[in-house]
Structure 1
Amino acid sequence: MSKAITSMSAVTATTTATPRPHAGRIDRLRVRHLRLLEQIAGTGSLSAASQQMQVSQPGATKMLQELESAFGCNLIDRTPRGGQLSRAGAFALDRLRIALGALDTAAACLAAAPQIPLVRVGILPLIAVSALPAVVALLDGQDALPRLTLREGTVEGLMQLLHDSEIDCAITPLRAGVGTADAAQLNITRLWETSLALAAAPTHPLARRRKLTIDMLREARWVLPPHSASTRLQFDQWFLEMGAMPPVPHVESLSFHTNLSLAATGTALTVAPLNAVRHYESRGMVRELRFEPGMSRGHMFFITRQELAGLASVVQLLNALKSLSRSQIG
């Protein structure tokens, strides 16, 4: 037994004693070194980065040399216009943004209310209308509500914020090609099913018809999201699958709040997430238009970086969303 313990201790000692590459030089780096790389990426030159950071040009050059010495590779490719990150520099910055984001979040959390954790959440506007109030109420009832910093955006925008470590997690659908490069670094949990619905004012002529045809929809006036929105892509594809060209909208707006409010005036139809349509319908502003076949369904996901997936406040938020998802299914 004692020999086995001795042998195991030796292995452990050998493993833990393995030096990190350039450990001494990396440990001497300061936060300003890390922000320098971020500024060079944003400004495109070392001189502009030094001005942004309010350090001298020689001081910035020395900081860059110390960075490259610590990492043991070239981080900047010099160009006639200044400089841009090398491939190694871009990879390093991706990782350093995680550290900088965590540092900024810790500072913000401890500066205001150190006893309450802070979670930075990226959401679609729809989540603020439907899921978020229920989740906040649930966590508050459990005395587990963290401080929340909310950032609203599109699917592409939220995935970019997650990539740049400007948010801790996102509640969003997923779209092919959006954020897939980071898939190995992300923890993705499927939540609930989503779907789209057509809507019109209760006084609109089509709202009073029992049966609608694709020609009636094709000839109506529409308020639609722009082509860059996933809702519009799904809407256009739905028309094409039924053998009709999608209608040309009279108004284009990314906000489903704007679109539903305009539809409520009685002159146009719109398409929006089903929960949003029913939210406005409950207030007597619009009526959901039923048409078969309906548009294909998708899912909402909770996405966070792997290194944050075990954070207690993030886990509590995810569990509340799962609970909401189960109640919707029920």
Structure 2
Amino acid sequence: MTGGVDYLVRRLRLRHLELLVALAETGSTRGAADRLHLSQPAISKMLNEIEGGFGARLFDRSHQGVQANAFGAAAVYRARVILSELARAQDEIDALRAGASAVLRVGAPSVTVTVPAAVVLLRARMPAASVQIREGRVSELIQRLLDGELDCVFGAVTPQLLSSDLLPLLQSELLLEDQLCVLAAASNVNVRRRGLRWADLRSAQWVAPPKETLVRQAFMTAFLNDGVEPPEPVIEAMSSVTVGALLRMDPSLLCAVRFEHARDEVARGNVRKVPVLPAIPLPSLGLFTRRAAIGQPAVVQEFARAIRKAGARAGPRAAPRSR
């Protein structure tokens, strides 16, 4: 029978939480023992203490090893968050000792104008704040957010995320509507006429991201909706540095990107956005934080205000607020 929260607080130690994570990641008591530098009998004893505290079997045992069940998965998730929060506390104390007033850990795609603008606004309000930006795919960043490694994530509200089991764990706010954009070198005279449609650009030399990306899928949809077969890009590239260099070195190329990327390239110069009809929407961009009973730190709240302000200055236009 479970001893309740008081039992967990009094009897379980951080080492027990490390064990939960180690068992989930290694899949065996031997693997967990090696990672934590403990004997297997000690591991078994600690696991019995944990399961006694929760009043439930958390791992299914077999000859193949151990596997977290539904109860175990919930416990492992919370253990990861607690351990990550401790790591965050250490990072914050180190930063405060070095003179920072607060630490903010932000996840964002590799190309975004809104996040740098929001960071500048944040530091205008909190000059001594330390900001750590981690770049990556939204799905990976969301997982790091839920694991406690990040404070917030700015990214696309994808259909996969909307239909996933993770959504109830998140607090989300839609900030910007997004759309597919076409970029060309400023010297490219072949795409300057008005009223261009996607079908008119079927024979162009395209740079586009891989097929599994939202931008590439929207790119293909644009041509299909206009009654023509989507062109096969002559170059596939994800890196904004690579795309920008290609456009500036080869003026014959066109590139399909999202609006945030288009803003960034145009601001750098020698590249312009080509109006093409009809407009093709992409999933809106939003700010994600962990849904929690306790309030967000002041620096996270201030960044949320800053990114709303930065988003309001951008386009195509601000998205309606959500959740």
What TM bracket, shorter-length normalisation? 0.7 to 0.9
Aligned to 2:81: 98
Residue 85 (structure 1) shift: 0.9
Deviation at 1:107, TM superposition (A): 1.2
147-156 or 314-323: bigger deviation: 147-156
Alignment equivalent of 2:288, drawn from 287, 303, 316: 303
Distance 2:194 2:313 in 1: 31
Q: Which amino acid aligns with 1:234?
A: A
| Matched-pair contact (CA < 8 Å) for 2:81–2:148 | yes
Match of 2:310 in 1: 324
1:195 maps to 179
Change (3 A) 1:132 1:214: closer
User: In the aligned structure 2, how far is the partner of 1:241 from the partner of 1:205?
Assistant: 26
Counterpart of 1:16?
Answer: none
Kept in 2, the 8 Å contact 1:200–1:288? The answer is yes
User: Within 1, Cα distance between the matches of 2:195 and 2:8?
Assistant: 73
Displacement after TM superposition at 1:22 (Å): 5.4
Question: Closer, same or farther in 2 for the Cα pair 1:152/1:249, shift >3 Å?
Answer: same
Corresponding residue for residue 14 of structure 1? none
Q: How far apart, in 1, do the equivalents of 2:244 and 2:229 lie? A: 23
Whole-angstrom distance in 1 between the partners of 2:123 and 2:198: 46
Provide the secondary structure at the position in 1 that maps to 2:165: helix
C-alpha spacing 1:311/1:59, structure 2 compared with 1 (3 Å): same
CA distance in 2, matches of 1:142, 1:20: 47
Q: Following the alignment from structure 2 to structure 1, what is the Cα–Cα distance between the partners of residues 233 and 63?
A: 46
Q: Which moved more, 1:201-210 or 1:27-36?
A: 201-210
Q: TM-score, normalised by structure 1?
A: 0.85
Which amino acid counterpart does residue 123 of structure 2 have in structure 1? D
Determine the C-alpha separation between the residues in 2 that align with 1:254 and 1:327.
Answer: 26
Q: 2:301 aligned to 315, 320, 324, which one?
A: 315
Task: Give per-residue Cα distances to partners, 1:222-273, cap 9 Å, x unaligned.
Answer: 2211122221122222222222222222222222332232232224221112
Pairwise CA distance, 1:20: 7.1
Higher relative contact order (CA 8 A, sep 6+): 2
Quote the Cα distance in structure 2 between the aligned partners of 1:198 and 1:35: 49
Aligned residue pairs total 310
Indicate how the Cα distance of structure 1 residues 215 and 322 shifts in structure 2: closer, same or farther if over 3 A, else same.
Answer: closer
1:230 to 202, 214, 218: 214
TM-score normalised according to structure 2 size = 0.87
Task: Give yes or no for the alignment of 1:40 onto 2:18.
Answer: no
In structure 2, stretches of 5+ residues that fail to align are 319-323
Change (3 A) 1:298 1:85: closer
Code of the residue aligned with 1:325 in structure 2: it is G
User: Which is higher, the Rg of structure 1 or of structure 2?
Assistant: 1
Matching of residue 58 in structure 1 with residue 41 in structure 2:
yes
1:148-167 matches, cutoff 5 A: 148-167=131-150
Residue in 2 aligned with 1:85? 68
Q: Give the % identical residues.
A: 31
